[in-house]
């Protein structure tokens, strides 16, 4: 399987998760690689620029609750502000305030803007988490330290105006190519085609963008822009991958899909590690049901990707503790449709996509997004649906506490008895679930208490909340958190959550 297909799929998901139009990342990758040719970049630089453009926003789901606190619906905010100069406070701040007060009237708008001002000091932490998580995900996708360092410079600017003040050629050339590639796409789409791209990119030369690379673009703009006029952007993006094309096989495929599931599950503090747990349970259930290894693999991989469309729905809905409105419920139902669209492009994921998109269907026709009847739900999707429900029940959600395994089993069986879930699939899932707690792996030299703390950090708890949960002082909780960070070699809670998910200790 080509790595570009998997990363291209992840790029489509990041578009959905940032409010960008479909194909934004793919086009940026095409343009960055082509610009690299005209700039006489090395083979390594052109390949890295291509992948960087596709992966730039793979950390966008980190700290989603903080983004929601600042922007309200962060997806809507991103959609409304395509083409903003994110490195220019004079451009961005009015947009943030305008969005905050929209539809709230005079006094409500003033109160909303005051809340935004109170949250703005947390923005650097969000940016840092995005960069650190993107680097960790890149590592899990098999990219080396040089690439990881480059992707950590997502928010750096040529003039040194980024969060870490990296300036000029201190920014990796591959990332500078990716930056220009993205701005070409935004300028072309948002500001009027060829002339818009020339103007938009030119305005950022010497500020956010490498002026020499901007000059290269301007000198070859017609040919470079021609690369995104193809009838199929997906096909053009696959063709644009610099050779030799990178391949993944066997366990590498599963690790890549697990990485994609991690990206999706980070969207909410309540779903971190959910897809991986569903995947393990569904695969075990398939084995209990007597399916061969091929079907077990299919079910496991479909489970990893079944919630990829989650990223397109604001964290404010996923983390909402009060009852959802009809509109909010409809948005949640749409996440499987979005996931289906994200997964539909890659031929190598076709079978996986077919099963993953049915995870929330019910045999009595009450599921979503298609409301299919039993005849349209194959055995693999029935196993996935039952495993997903069981895992969701034993996990905490914003509106309820986690069910005990016995309570979850009772509810699952009731759904089977009512005709919503397949009785055979339910029996297999319950047999696979068992009721023996899984022993936590003490990796990275973590103590038992540090494992407990890491689990709570992954759930998004503050030091004070961790202290209350474990009946220790806030100071002691903070000390444990810092020890965990040191052993994991991370500096943000979102990055620590990545390790918790990898180790399977989120629940």
pLDDT of residue 284: 97
The DSSP result for 258-294, as a single string, is: HHHHHHHHTTSTT-TTHHHHHHHHHHHHHHHTT--HH
What does the DSSP 8-state code read for residue 308?
A: G
Q: Give the DSSP H or E segment for 157.
A: none
pLDDT of residue 113: 73
Q: Classify residue 202 by burial, with Cβ atoms within 10 Å: 0-12, 13-18, 19+.
A: middle
Encode the chain (507 residues) as per-residue pLDDT tens digits: 999 999 999 999 999 999 898 899 999 999 999 999 999 999 999 999 999 999 999 988 887 777 777 767 888 877 777 777 666 667 777 777 777 777 778 777 777 777 776 766 666 777 788 889 999 999 999 999 999 999 999 999 999 988 889 999 999 999 999 999 999 999 999 888 999 999 999 999 999 999 999 999 999 999 999 999 999 999 999 999 999 999 999 999 999 999 999 999 999 999 999 999 999 999 999 999 999 999 999 999 999 999 999 999 999 999 999 999 999 999 999 999 999 999 999 999 999 999 999 999 999 999 999 999 888 999 999 999 999 999 999 999 999 999 999 999 999 999 999 999 999 999 999 999 986 433 445 688 898 789 889 989 998 899 999 998 888 999 999 999 999 999 999 999 999 999 888 877 765
pLDDT of residue 440: 44
Same fold, 259-433 and 443-503: no
The closest of 159, 204, 150 to 182, measured between CA atoms, is: 204
Residue 97 structure tokens: 């305030």
Fold of 443-503: Arc Repressor Mutant, subunit A (1.10.10)
CATH number among 3.40.50.620, 1.10.3210.10, 3.40.50.720, 3.30.230.10, domain 259-433: 1.10.3210.10
Cβ distance 280 to 288 under 8 Å? Answer: no
pTM comes to 0.87
What is the residue extent of each domain of the chain?
A: 3-61+126-240, 64-122, 259-433, 443-503
Contact partners, residue 235, CB within 8 Å, separation at least 6: none
CATH architecture of 3-61+126-240: Orthogonal Bundle (1.10)
What does the DSSP 8-state code read for residue 7?
A: H
The DSSP result for 318-365, as a single string, is: HT--SPPPHHHHHHHHHHHHHHHHHHTS-GGGHHHHHHHTTTT--TBS
């Amino acid at each position: 399987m080509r790595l570009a297909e998997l990363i291209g799929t992840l790029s489509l998901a990041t578009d959905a998760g940032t409010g960008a139009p479909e194909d934004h990342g793919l086009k940026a990758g095409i343009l960055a690689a082509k610009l690299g040719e005209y700039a006489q970049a090395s083979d390594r630089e052109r390949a890295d620029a291509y992948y960087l453009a596709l992966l730039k926003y793979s950390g966008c789901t980190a700290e989603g609750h903080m983004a929601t606190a600042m922007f309200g619906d962060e997806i809507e905010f991103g959609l409304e502000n395509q083409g903003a100069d994110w490195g220019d406070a004079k451009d961005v701040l009015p947009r943030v305030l305008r969005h905050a007060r929209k539809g709230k009237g005079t006094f409500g708008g003033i109160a909303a803007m005051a809340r935004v001002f109170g949250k703005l000091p947390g923005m650097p932490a969000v940016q840092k988490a995005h960069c650190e998580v993107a680097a960790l995900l890149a590592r899990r996708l098999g990219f080396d330290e040089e690439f990881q360092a480059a992707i950590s410079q997502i928010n750096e600017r040529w003039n040194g105006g980024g969060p870490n003040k990296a300036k000029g050629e201190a920014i990796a050339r591959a990332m500078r190519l990716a930056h220009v590639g993205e701005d070409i796409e935004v300028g072309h789409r948002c500001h009027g085609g060829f002339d818009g791209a020339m103007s938009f990119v030119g305005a950022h030369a010497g500020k956010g963008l490498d002026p020499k690379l901007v000059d290269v673009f301007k000198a070859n703009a017609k040919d470079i822009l021609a690369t995104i006029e193809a009838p199929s952007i997906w096909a053009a993006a696959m063709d644009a991958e610099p050779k030799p094309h990178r391949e993944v096989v066997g366990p590498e495929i599963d690790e890549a899909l697990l990485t994609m599931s991690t990206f999706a599950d980070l969207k909410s503090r309540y779903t971190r590690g959910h897809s991986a747990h569903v995947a393990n349970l569904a695969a075990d259930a398939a084995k209990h049901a007597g399916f061969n290894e091929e079907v077990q693999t299919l079910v496991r991989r479909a489970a990893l990707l079944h919630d990829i469309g989650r990223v397109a729905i604001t964290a404010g809905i996923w983390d909402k503790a009060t009852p959802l409105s009809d509109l909010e419920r409809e948005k949640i139902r749409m996440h499987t449709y979005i996931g289906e669209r994200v997964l539909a492009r890659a031929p190598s994921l076709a079978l996986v996509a077919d099963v993953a998109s049915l995870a929330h269907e019910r045999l009595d026709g009450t599921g979503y997004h298609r409301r299919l009847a039993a005849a349209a739900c194959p055995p693999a999707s029935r196993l996935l649906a039952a495993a997903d429900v069981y895992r969701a029940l034993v996990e905490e959600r914003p509106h309820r506490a986690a069910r005990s395994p016995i309570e979850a089993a009772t509810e699952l069986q009731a759904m089977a008895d009512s005709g919503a879930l397949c009785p055979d699939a339910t029996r297999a899932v319950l047999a696979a679930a068992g009721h023996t707690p899984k022993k936590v792996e003490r990796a990275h030299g973590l103590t038992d208490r540090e494992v407990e703390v890491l689990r709570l950090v992954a759930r998004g708890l503050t030091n004070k909340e961790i202290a209350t949960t474990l009946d220790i002082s806030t100071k002691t909780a903070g000390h444990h958190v810092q020890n965990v960070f040191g052993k994991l070699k991370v500096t943000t809670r979102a990055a620590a959550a990545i390790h918790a998910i990898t180790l399977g200790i989120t629940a």
